[in-house]
Structure 1
Amino acid sequence: MRSAPKPSGSTPPAGPPGVEVVHCGPLATVQDLGRPGYAALGVGRSGAADAAAAALANRLVGNDEGAACLELTFGSATLAFRRFARVAVTGAPCPLDRAAAMNAPFTMPAGGMLTVGAPASGVRTYVAVRGGIAVPPVLGSRSTDVLSGLGPRPLSPGDVLPVGTDHSGPPPAVEVAPVNPPAGGELVVRVTPGPRAGWCTPAALRTLRTARFTVTADSNRVGVRLAGPPLARARHEELPSEGMVPGAIQVPPSGQPVVFLADHPVTGGYPVVAVVRAADLPVLAQARPGQRVRFELQPAAR
């Protein structure tokens, strides 16, 4: 796919080779597939909130699926490329300012600028560069964990990100990947019963299955906060802290459920009434404030 011509008289930005962040939106971070295996030490996995979209971006440029890429929240970023690069943009669909398309690999010339607009649906957009973003790893991962503070800090204008050699062979011969964009209407999310479902009343469990909940503006990479009919608890004593997993649906004293995402705490003391199936976590990772969510309860896998 042909890139837009370079403006007359433009020269590559001065400084070391890499990708310069000229502008970025409310939260732009470096993410890979996280740092599993450290929960016993109090360290969460973190990683891309929409892991499927991040993995696709990497595959499109010939990287290993676990290579580090950029996660943009509500798009709105401008990137300057200090050398020729192979790039792909996936996730929440954003307008791009050049002859390029979402979910399709394209080239950026040395000195080229890529502007990513705001998405019409979804929240998180991924920008992969062939070779991967080569910031120093922490505990084996380059992911930014906004809860613990591990990994590189969130990006800001002026940052220059090195590009590595983390690719798995020649770029794939593909023009575009057929991917459905994030849903813009009501979301249906499959869940299985949680380990503390008995801490909620039977009426609360019926409400979880039948009510519509609304994503609130307080949602972030830690979790999706929902507003709707409160889920009443049958037991009100203190619950000792226990391990948490992505997709755990906690019921705090307010009765308003919280669904944990990539940067969730490793332990929690509120009852987990249900757990979102792993395949549906990207749906919630792309849920926008104001969207409605309905849970579909399924039996636990044996």
Structure 2
Amino acid sequence: MTASPATARSVEVLQPGYGATVQDLGRPGHAALGVSPSGAADRDSLRLANRLVGNHESAAGIEAPLGGLTLRFDHHATVALTGAPCPARVGRRQVDMYAPVRLAPGDELRVATPAEGLRLYIAVRGGLRTPATLGSRSTDTIAGLGPARLAAGDVLPVGTSTTGWPAADLAPRPRLPAEPRLRILPGPRDDWFTAAALTALTSQPYTVTTDSDRVGMRLDGPALERLHHRELPSEATVAGALQVPPSGRPILFLADHPVTGGYPVIAVVHEADLPLAAQARPGQTLRFSHRA
């Protein structure tokens, strides 16, 4: 992932944090090839970061779960940090979230670990120009597409495509909820479950387990009882699907979900609520409610 000598502007990864990746808005339209859309898990945060630096919303940036990374810039750059609120510094200067940050050549941006939320997004004016696969620069961790997870020493080329400067230089957002509430639409296999299963799903909290990543979140809570115990042929799945394995504890599919699954899906989380789901960290509780 090293830039060529001709690359005029780049970002060097000094510390990669805890599994940071390059992400854009994904590669939709390839499910027939067995490729999920992938892309940023919290798309709202990536879009906002790009708007704050004058990029196209689809420009590639960095998704950093739990922060912890350090980047060095070789050019006058403008960056924006959104998503999980992380303390960040350039030298001795503290920098703010949700606002453009100007950097000089040689500056190092150091990001700490967030006190709440999970995924931080960093946009660089001009966008990251890592090689594209199937029209996207996103890292798909389940299919192995796109660039590898960031590692110390990686040099990321920066592009020049922008949309002009935004009208606002600050975009404050409310704090992330301590207990996210995710709206669901029952189905397509809710008829495989007892009526009590859907009631349990929407009336009691579930805890995000440590067995969670960009593919999905395994949840701990009330087991969802099935009416039918026969095998289900593999069928299409989408981000937000709540697939229920034999344990009865649901798995919430996220950005890198498989395109097919063999367990029944009791419900699907509203697409607009997936950014909230993407910010839920292990040990946190969340609730489901019927879509309004």
The answer for the alignment partner of 2:172 in structure 1 is 178
Say which SS state the counterpart of residue 289 (structure 2) adopts. Answer: strand
Q: After alignment, is 15-24 or 200-209 more displaced?
A: 15-24
User: What residue is the counterpart of 2:15 in the other structure?
Assistant: 23
1:76 to 68, 79, 94: 68
1:255-294 Cα deviation digits (max 9, x unpaired): 0100100000000010000000011001110001111111
Cα shift readout 1:238-268 (whole Å, capped 9, x = no counterpart) = 1111100010000000101001000000000
Instruction: Specify the code of the residue in structure 2 equivalent to 1:178.
Output: P
- Provide structure 2 residue ranges, at least 5 long, that are not aligned to the other structure: none
Report the alpha carbon displacement of residue 175 of structure 1 after superposing the two structures with TM.
2.5
Question: Structure 1 runs of 4+ off > 3 angstroms?
Answer: none
State whether structure 2 residue 101 is matched by structure 1 residue 106. yes
Aligned to 1:5: none
User: Residue 49 of structure 2 aligns to a residue in which SS?
Assistant: helix
* Pairing 1:1-302 to 2, within 5 Å after superposition: 17-97=9-89, 98-168=93-163, 170-183=164-177, 185-298=178-291
Aligned-residue Cα RMSD (Å) equals 1.1
Rounded to whole Å, the distance in 1 between the matches of 2:30 and 2:291 is 30
Query: For 1:78, what is the secondary structure of its paired residue?
Result: strand
8 Å CA contact 2:221, 2:249 repeated in 1:
yes
What's the TM-score, normalizing by structure 2?
Answer: 0.95
Q: Which amino acid aligns with 2:171?
A: A
**CA deviation digits over 1:121-163, x for unaligned, max 9?**
1000000000000001000000000011000000010000000
| In 2, Cα distance between equivalents of 1:180 and 1:127 | 19
State whether residues 142 and 151 of structure 1, in contact with CA within 8 Å, keep that contact through their aligned partners in structure 2.
yes
Cα distance, 1:61 vs. partner?
0.3
User: In the aligned structure 1, how far is the partner of 2:139 from the partner of 2:159?
Assistant: 18
1-side partners of 2:16 and 2:146: how far apart? 18
The Cα shift of 1:99 comes to 4.0
Give % identity: 57
Give the TM-score, by structure 1 length: 0.92
The answer to whether the 8 A contact 1:91-1:181 is kept is no
Distance in 1 between the 2:218 and 2:161 partners? 36
Unaligned stretches of 5+ in structure 1? 1-14
Aligned to 1:11: none
CA distance in 2, matches of 1:94, 1:31: 19
SS at match of 1:232: coil
